[in-house]
Amino acid sequence: MRYAMAIDTKKCVGCSDCVVACQTENNVPIGYCRDWIVEVVDGTYPQLELEIRSERCNHCDNSPCVRCCPTGASHVEEGGFVLVTHNKCIGCGACIASCPYDARYPHPDGYVDKCTFCMHRVTKGQLPACVATCPTKCMYFGDLDDPNSPVSLVLKNRKHKTLIPEAGTKPQLYYLI
């Protein structure tokens, strides 16, 4: 089993519903977030391009954040979820420094927090909260090992990219382009 997410930049409107939904679903305190929106504008009026990406932890296959964690708080669960066990985390910040995507943040309660791929929902057969609420339905989630999962199908049919593949982390968040 290998869970992954694909996000269609051709449909995402950058509304940030995924950010709010994550904050409420996962009790992320105000002022913090596990996912965020990046908008890149290129060109000169009126020859313009706009790419909008909803970003979060890439649940990397080769995750430096897990490797550098001194306590084992950062770990990989069955299915590829990269998680932090709060009561094992000492808040040393090594994993924050190790993530090329800046996907982690220090929770005000001391531990380090990040996107969990909503494992608590996924293991119950639900979609991650951000995926379930996205009004443009531009996010696909599922098991890459299952060729018929929404994410496998969409990756088979559409051109896609990952962010900074050259960092060698093998990210599992795909952007359809």
Partner 1 sequence: MATRRQFLKTSALGLGGISIGLSAFKYVSDFTGLQQNAADLTVNLTRTPTYCEICFWKCAGWVYKKEDGSIWKITGNEEDQHSNGRFCPRGTGGVGMYTDKDRLKTPLIRTGERGKHEFREASWEEALDMVADNMKKLSSQYGPECVALLNHGSGGKYFSDLLKAFGSTNIAAPSYAQCRGPREVAFVNTFGELIESPERTDIRDSKCLVLIGSHIGENMHNGQVQEVSDAIDKGVSIITVDPRFSVVASKSKFWLPIKPATDLALLLSWIHVLINEGWYDKDYVEKNTYGLDLLKEHVKTMTPEWAYGITTIKPDVIRETAKEMFNASPAVIIHPGRHVTWYGDDTQRLRAVAILNALLGSWGRRGGFYNPAVASVPNYPHPPFPTPSRTWRDAFPGQFNLADETLASGLCDATIPAPTRSCSFKAWLVSGTNLINTLPDQAKTLEAIKSLEFIAVIDTMPMEITSWADVILPECTYLERYDTLRVSPHRKPAIALRMPAMEPKDNTKSAYWIAREIASRLGLLEYFPFEKLEDYLDWQLKQIGSSLEEMQKIGVKTFEREQDDMYFQPGEQHEFFTPTGKIELYSTSFAEEGFDPMPVYTPHPEPPEGYYRLNYGRAPMHTFSRTSNNPNLNDLMDENALWINPKVAKDWGLKKDQRIWLQNQDGKISNFSIKVRVTERIRWDSVYMVHGFGHATKQLSRTYGKGISDTEMITNVMTDPIMGGTGMRGNFVTFLTEKPEEVAS
Partner 2 sequence: MREELITSGRMNPLVDPQLHIWSWEIPFYLFLGGLAAGILFFAGYYVIMGKEKEYPAAIEKTPLIVPFLLLLGLGSLFLDLNHKLFFWRLYTSIRLQSPMSWGAWVLMVITPVSFIWAAIHIKKTFPKLKWPYAWMDELEKFFTSYKKVIAWIMVIYSLILGIYTGILFSAFNARPLWNTSILGPLFLTSGLSTGAALNIITAKSEYERHKFTRIDLMLIGIELFLIIHIFMGFLASTQVQIDAARLFLGGPYTAPFWILVVFFGMILPGLLEILELRNIKIPVLIPATLVLVGGLLFRFIWTFAGESSRWLY
* Contact positions vs partner 2 (CB under 8 A): 14, 16, 19, 23, 28, 30-33, 35-44, 64, 67-73, 87-94, 96-100, 102, 104-106, 109-112, 163-164, 166-169
Cβ atoms < 10 Å from Cβ of 130: 26
Which one among 1, 50, 164, 177 touches partner 1, defined by CB under 8 A? 50
Complex with ligand SF4: residue 66 or 152, whichever CB lies closer: 66
How far apart (Å, rounded) are the C-alpha atoms in residues 78 and 65?
A: 17
Q: Which does 82 bind (CB under 5 to 8 A by kind): partner 1, partner 2, ligand SF4, none?
A: ligand SF4
Which amino acid type is present at position 145? Answer: D
Q: Which is nearer to partner 1, 62 or 104 (CB)?
A: 104
- Helices (H) and strands (E) counted in the chain, each on its own, are 6, 10
| Residues across the chain | 177
At 132, give phi and psi (nearest 5°): -70, -25
Q: Tokens at residue 87, please?
A: 């009561």
114, 73 in Cβ contact below 8 A? Answer: no
How far are the Cα atoms of 38, 87, 104, 140 from residue 97, in angstroms, in the given order? 20, 20, 9, 29
CB of 173 to partner 1, least distance (A): 18
Q: What is the greatest pairwise CA distance in the chain?
A: 53
- 90 binding ligand SF4? (CB under 6 A): yes
Q: What is the dihedral of CA 163, 169, 174, 176, to 10 degrees?
A: 40
58 binds partner 1 (CB under 8 A): no
Is 100 an interacting residue with respect to partner 1 (CB under 8 A)? Answer: no
Token pair in block for residue 153: 């199908």
- Interacting positions 152-171 with partner 1 (CB under 8 A): none
Residues near partner 1 (CB under 8 A):
10-11, 13-17, 19-21, 23-27, 30-31, 38, 41, 43-46, 48-50, 52, 83, 85-87, 91, 102, 107-111, 116, 119-120, 123-124, 129, 132-138
Residues near ligand SF4 (CB under 6 A):
7, 12-18, 22, 25-26, 34-35, 37, 54, 56-60, 63-65, 68-71, 73-74, 82, 84, 89-95, 99, 101, 103-104, 112, 114-118, 128-130, 134, 136, 138-139, 169
